[in-house]
Homo-oligomer: A and B are copies of this chain.
Amino acid sequence: MPKELTIGLVQQACTQDREENIRKLETGIREAHARGAALVLLQELHNGVYFPQTEGEDGFALAETIPGPSTERFGSLAAELGIVLVLSLFEKRAPGLYHNTAAVLEKDGSVAGIYRKTHIPDDPGFYEKYYFTPGDLGIRPVETSAGRIGVLICWDQWYPEAARLMALAGAEMLVYPTAIGYSPSEPEDERERQRGAWITIQRSHAIANGVPVAAINRTGFEPPLSPERDGIHFWGNSFVAGPQGEIMAQTAADRDEVLVATVNLDKTDIIRRAWPFFRDRRVDLYGDLLKRYRD
């Protein structure tokens, strides 16, 4: 198990040209590796534009199996560079059964494990419930040569329950492939509150659980995919936080960027001894967390 782990995050804008998006990702992965990354993270649904911006049958044509074309292609690169790589894919599991799934590739290019997005959003411009069946694999980290990686996906990031379950299941870090942005009509103060909340709640998962957190978001403006929408301005701001929630590195909002940061996985035990939150959890009183609401 490594003590020091260098993580690379590839933040980029996507276009309708899938092959171009993937080539750009490959360039970014190579750059992260050249700068020392042993673990590289890609943004949510990184191969294309964010198709759940609208509901339409065409979207399903983008789905693929796991293993499949993306795990093959990126697996070759992972093996060539000897890195662990976290992909975010539109998974076709069976006819009429699709998931938003992360595939974690080992440094020999094999699939070390997958995670299916647990919490599925649905609001104007983010119509994910139409496409994605909620994950049924539970909330478990993937064991890799770079450590036990707790992959959670986008909407999951708003749920302290998900972060806690990953940590209780032994995750040594939490990573969040993400596609989040503003509507162009949002005023600046509301943008700031949204972006601030997104950063704050993920830093809090680091704090509550004493583990590093990496969030990798897309950037760029993606024009409307249907006449009733107005497009999404993805806000970038990918970051890596240490186990006290301290920001270690962060990208800009508006440009393609490869971010590299080194975390020390041994710090978790040190921090959890100083702040022994796990010692004092009142599991005898938490039963109502399993209810929708306590009326």
Q: Which residues of A contact B (CB under 8 A)?
A: 118-121, 123, 134, 138-139, 155, 158-161, 164-165, 168-170, 193-194, 196-197, 200-201, 203-204, 207-208, 244-246, 274-278, 280-283, 285-295
Contact = CB atoms under 8 A, between A and B. Distances in A.
A161 B286 CA distance: 7
- Top 9 closest A-B pairs, CB basis? A204-B204, A160-B160, A193-B244, A197-B207, A201-B204, A169-B294, A168-B294, A119-B280, A201-B207
A120 B134 CA distance: 36
A159 B208 contact: yes
B280 A138 contact: no
Contact of A286 (B196, B203, B289): B289
A245 B197 contact: yes
A155 B208 CA distance: 12
Contact of A118 (B208, B285, B295): B285
A246 B194 CA distance: 9
B120 A280 contact: yes
Nearest to A246: B193
Contacts of A139: 285, 288
Nearest to A293: B168
Contacts of A285: 118, 138-139, 165
Contacts of A286: 161, 165, 289-290
A208 to B, nearest CB: 6
18 contacts: A123-B274, A123-B276, A134-B282, A139-B288, A160-B208, A161-B281, A161-B282, A161-B286, A165-B288, A165-B294, A168-B293, A193-B245, A200-B245, A201-B204, A281-B292, A283-B290, A286-B290, A290-B290
